[in-house]
A and B are shown apart, each in its own frame.
Chain A
C-alpha cells in the first residue's frame, strides 16, 4: 500500500501553472495547416527540457526523451496541435469575406459568433440576417455556409487577405469544476503531453509527437510515426461527451463518454481497432492506482492512432481521451478532474510499461 501511494504522489498534478498553460494554448489560434502559434508555445515550454527536439517537414514537433537504460521500449505519444476553423476564400472592399471550413464543423454553430483572423488575431464577426426581416418559414431552414460572411467591419486597413485562417474567438475560463474554451480538442492533449515530457520516466524512450493536421486526416501523425519508428503508440486526444438528455426523456444510450467519469480508453473507432494488450494494460493500471476511467463507446470518430498503427510494419496503438462536451464548436466544456485523471493514468502507465507487454497474447 505504501509503495502505491508513493507512486501516486509522484504523479504530476494539474495546478495553477498547468491551467495557465492550457489557457494560453486554448486562446492560441492554430487551424490545421497553420499550427505556428501552438508550435511556438510547445517549443517555449520545452526549451529547458533535456530532450532532443526537431521540427519535421510538415511542422510536427518531435521530442525524444532518452531512456537511462539500454534497449528501452520506444513509446510514442501523440497530441495534435491543430484545431478546426476557417479559411478566407474571397474578400470584398467593404470587409466582407466568404470563407470555407477547415475540419468538421456543423454550420449551424456559426451564425452570430466572433472569430479571430491570422497571426494578428484581427477581430471579425459572422453575422446573421436580422430576425425582423425574416419569415417564419425562413427561420426553420438553417443558414447555409454560402449565405454566411466573415465581417471585418465597415471597411478599413485590416490587413486580412484571402488564404488567411480564422478561428473561433472564445476566451478560456474556469467555472466551478469545469474548463471552458475553444479547441480544448486537443489542447488538453498538448498540455498533458508537455507535462509527460517534463516528467519523462527513466526506463523507456519517450517519443512525444505534437502533431499537425489531425483535423484534416491525421496527416502529421502519419509521418511522425514513420520518423519515430516506435514499438507502441498512444494518441492523447479529447473525445466528445454526448451525455445530454434526450428530447423525450428516454435514456440516452449513445453518450460516447460522460463528463466526470475519468479518461476515456478507446476500444474501437472508425479509424483504429485498439491493440487489446494496450486496452487491458491501461484499464489494469487505472484500477491498480484507483484512477477512475471509462471505455469510450465504440463508434465513429478517429484520432492520430488511425494513421500511426498502419505505419511501417504496423505499430500497436491505442487512444486515450479527456472527455469534452461540444468539440468543434465555439465553446467546449471539460472537467478539471478528468484532465487530472488522464494525466495520472498516462503517467502511471509510462512508469510500468515494458517490452514484456508485447510478448503477452493479444
Chain B
C-alpha cells in the first residue's frame, strides 16, 4: 500500500516545468517501478509504465495519461542583478508579486517575484495590475554574481512548500496535474490486488501546459485501444461558483463532449453508480483542455475519456485539492480496468 500524501507532497516539492520534466519523472519512475512490469521513457520524455494483463496474447491495451509537467516562469533578461521574466504555461500576473520562487541557474537560487514601487513603473493606477513585463525576480545576490549564475532561458519554478489543510485537503503548486499522477498511482496500487485481462499503460506525459507534446506522441508509440486522460477541473471557490465549477471534495467529474467517446462515458458512469463513487458529469463542449484533446486524434484515432479531480485556484501556487477525490479517481480507474472483458471492444458500439 503506497502512502499517497507523502508521495504527493514530495512531487509538489520538485520542479518539472514543461519541457524539463526530468526531476519529477525520476520520482514517479521510482514510485511506479514496483507497481509495473516495464518502465520506459519516450523520445520526448514521457514516462511509460506497463502493467501486463492476464488475458491471452495479443491483449488489448488501455492507456491512462496524467501530465506531469508544471507551469512556471523563465528568465528573459538580467538588469542590475534583477531578473526579467516570462511565463511557461498560463500564469495570472496578479498572483506573482511576493511569490517565493526557485531559479535554476548555474546553481539553485531561492528568490522572490517583486513588484517595483509604483514610481519606478510607467504611470498606472494603484488598483491596476502590474504586468509581467515590469515584474522582477530578486535572488539576493549582487549584480556581478547574478551575471555569473543566471542567464536568459533559465527556468524558474514556484517555491511554495505544500500545505496540509483541515478536511483532508492539500494545497501547493503543480497539483495541476500531480494530483492526477497521484490518482494514477493509487490506481496502480489498487491493481496489486485486482486481476485484469487488459494491458494497462500508465503514462505520465510531458508538455501538456504548452504543446500537448506528450499526449500527441505516447499513444502513437503504444497504440492503445482506449485512452483515458486524468486531469484537474475547476472546483467551486471564491470567484468561481458558476455552473462550470464543481464542489471540492464531493466527488470526481466525468467529461462529456466531442473529446469523449459516449460509450466510454457511459461505461464510467455506470461503474461510478454501481460503486457509489460520487461524480458529476462535466460538460466539455469544445476542447477538453486535457491530454484527451491530442490523444483522440493520433493515428486513426482512439476512443477517449476524461476523468477529472476538482481543484481550487488553478494555476496558482496555492492550488487546492481534496485527497478524497484523488482516491476516488484512482479507485474508479482501477475498477474500470479490472472489469474490462477481453471482448469489451466488440460490445463497444455507437448507439445511433
Q: With A108-B97, A128-B94 known to touch, is A113 a contact of B141 (CB < 8 Å)? A: no
Collect the chain B residues with CB atoms within 8 Å of residue A156's CB.
165-169
- Pick the interface stretch among A67-75, A304-312, A326-334: A326-334
Interchain CB contact (< 8 A) of B92 among A139, A176, A177: A139
- Pick the interface stretch among B13-21, B115-123, B177-185, B186-194: B115-123
A258 → chain B, closest Cβ, in Å?
A: 11
CA distance A276 to B138 in the complex (A): 36
Q: With A109-B115, A132-B315, A143-B94 known to touch, is A95 a contact of B166 (CB < 8 Å)? A: yes
| Beta-carbon contact of B117 and A127 below 8 Å | no
| Beta-carbon contact of B318 and A112 below 8 Å | yes
- Pick the interface stretch among A77-85, A118-126, A186-194: A118-126
Q: With A149-B238, A244-B82, A247-B134 known to touch, is A108 a contact of B129 (CB < 8 Å)? A: yes
Collect the chain B residues with CB atoms within 8 Å of residue A152's CB.
165-167
Collect the chain A residues with CB atoms within 8 Å of residue B315's CB.
130-132
CA distance A139 to B168 in the complex (A): 31
| Beta-carbon contact of B234 and A132 below 8 Å | yes
B352 at the interface (CB under 8 A from A): no
| Beta-carbon contact of B109 and A175 below 8 Å | yes
CA distance A217 to B313 in the complex (A): 35
Collect the chain A residues with CB atoms within 8 Å of residue B141's CB.
175-178
Collect the chain A residues with CB atoms within 8 Å of residue B80's CB.
244-245
A3 at the interface (CB under 8 A from B): no
CA distance A152 to B167 in the complex (A): 9
Collect the chain A residues with CB atoms within 8 Å of residue B99's CB.
112-113, 330
A344 at the interface (CB under 8 A from B): no
B312 at the interface (CB under 8 A from A): yes
B249 at the interface (CB under 8 A from A): yes
A170 at the interface (CB under 8 A from B): yes
Interface readout for A320-355 with B: 1 if CB under 8 Å, 0 if not? 000001100111010000000000000000000000
B303 → chain A, closest Cβ, in Å?
A: 26
| Beta-carbon contact of B109 and A155 below 8 Å | no
| Beta-carbon contact of A171 and B161 below 8 Å | yes
Interchain CB contact (< 8 A) of A178 among B92, B129, B140, B239: B140
CA distance A125 to B165 in the complex (A): 9
Question: How many chain A residues have a CB neighbour from B under 8 Å?
Answer: 65
- Classify chain B's interface size: 35 or more
B138 → chain A, closest Cβ, in Å?
A: 6
| Beta-carbon contact of A247 and B140 below 8 Å | no
Interface readout for B116-147 with A: 1 if CB under 8 Å, 0 if not? 11011110001111100010101111100100
| Beta-carbon contact of A180 and B115 below 8 Å | no
CA distance A96 to B241 in the complex (A): 13
Collect the chain B residues with CB atoms within 8 Å of residue A175's CB.
109-110, 139-141
B164 at the interface (CB under 8 A from A): yes
Interchain CB contact (< 8 A) of A245 among B82, B92, B317: B82
Q: With A178-B141, A244-B120 known to touch, is A153 a contact of B169 (CB < 8 Å)? A: yes
Interchain CB contact (< 8 A) of B112 among A133, A176, A333: A333
B91 at the interface (CB under 8 A from A): yes
A48 at the interface (CB under 8 A from B): no
A207 → chain B, closest Cβ, in Å?
A: 34
CA distance A96 to B95 in the complex (A): 19
Interchain CB contact (< 8 A) of A130 among B139, B145, B313: B313
Interface readout for B77-103 with A: 1 if CB under 8 Å, 0 if not? 001101000000011111111111000
A61 at the interface (CB under 8 A from B): no
B152 at the interface (CB under 8 A from A): no
CA distance A113 to B173 in the complex (A): 11
Collect the chain B residues with CB atoms within 8 Å of residue A148's CB.
238
Collect the chain A residues with CB atoms within 8 Å of residue B110's CB.
173, 175, 180
A157 at the interface (CB under 8 A from B): yes
6 CB contacts below 8 A, A to B, read A95-B166, A123-B165, A141-B129, A149-B237, A331-B112, A333-B138
B residues within 8 Å of A by Cβ?
Answer: 79-80, 82, 90-100, 109-110, 112, 114-117, 119-122, 126-130, 134, 136, 138-142, 145, 160-161, 163-169, 171, 234, 237-240, 242, 244, 248-249, 289, 312-318, 320, 322
* Among all A-B residue pairs, the 5 with the closest Cβ atoms: A178-B140, A153-B165, A156-B167, A112-B95, A156-B166
